[in-house]
Chains A and B, each alone.
Chain A
Amino acid sequence: MEEGDEELVAAVRDGSERAFNVLVDRHQQSVRTFLRGITSWDDADDIAQETFLAVWTHARSFRGGHVRAWLFSIAWRKAKGAQRSWFRRRRRDSDYHDSASSPACEIGTEDRLAVRQALAALPLAQRAALVLSLGCGLTHPETAEALGLPLGTVKSHIARGRERVRVALGEPS
């Protein structure tokens, strides 16, 4: 029988390598999708790795609740920290060709690029709420838990972000 996420975190807390591997395999896709939606592709994988490292070292800080939301909350804090980091900003600016070489562009369509551009124009918190809700399938309360924001704020972020993206994509209301 498949182990639940909470059991896995408890095992990671006790130093289980196997549980850690299962946790990484199970959640890497959604965590990386979230981070790819709010940062650059290179930063996304870097921050996702840092997120899982934090899970290994700080598994004790898990106080129950949704493991997925907890993982996203770590990723969100690290993504915000990375935005502030001068070193990362500098690397991002100097590696402007990254976006051109990312798989998104190799197999991308105009529509996809338009959506990405529309998302990129949103404030970070709005973008994160929208990506978690629409891209990772989190419910509004889970999104609020992950971002550490009140439920009402998250709902308004999603509504405003959605409206701005809709306008940017030229869709009728």
Chain B
Amino acid sequence: MSLSIDLSIVVPIYNEAESLKILHGEIQAAAAPMGLSWELILVDDCSTDGSHRIALELRKNDPHLRIVRFSRNYGQTAALAAGFDQSRGDVVVTLDGDLQNDPADIPKMLKELERGFDVIAGWRKDRQDGFVLRRLPSMIANRMIAIVTGVAIHDTGCTLKAFRREVIERLPIYAEQHRFLPVMSQGSGARVTEMIVNHRPRLFGSSKYGIGRAWRVLLDLMAIKLISQFSQRPLRYFGFLSFLFMIFGGFFASVGLITTGAQAAAFENNWTVNTWQQTVISVTILIWMLMVFFAMLGLLAELVVHASGMHKRSALSRLMNEQS
């Protein structure tokens, strides 16, 4: 974008009428003393409680404010994506609209970026939420993400994050939750770190999350692993799964061999088998079918990637230019 500025702050809002004014004041207090050119992008996810009116009111007195309004409710991920798309800053900071993140952390994050990082993830070390419903599932999810992807971040769920512009432009943020952005960035070559941020209890409104997300996070994790680390060579991912099924099937076959014993080997009985042997044989075949199936899927994925032209010279040189 030609009209480049230093800092974009992206805040998705959905029914945050009470906190909006305070939030705006705090962001102003944090951003103004830094002496940078900045903008605040409020992405209104089609709020129904008058947040929109308040935002327009605030905009009258603050030229830094830009408001993007969706035509219907699309969720936080889409709101963040829209904020990224509209942002013009060299650095983009995302922030929750419910005042639980502290805008005073923004200057600290910028300092951290200057030390040579591309992505800073906030870490709500002293988190002010219920333990069983919010913190425990979050801890489990974060551990799993760290183990599966190898990107060790304590708190992927914190909305307060800072990104360099180059990272965002390389990042395909389509359906993914914001929690995977650090993982995706690292997959595309960015240097990622985390920083302890302040977290405050919720003052207004209610939480917009539920525990039903666990399964979806798991599925997203599988997808992220695939596309962030294996999108150039999907056959390896599928080949690995295929290999797992081979081992698993082999395990079953050996169980069958051991339990039936040598004396009952089929060829000695004129190739008739008892029911237990039959079961072991069919289960083994089924599992080995999975092995073949996943290998075929992997080839199919290779075909898709090949046909997409992602390897074309233009696409590659774009990446290289941004990194040099």
**A and B are partners in one complex rather than unrelated chains:** no
Interface residues of A (CB under 8 A from B): none
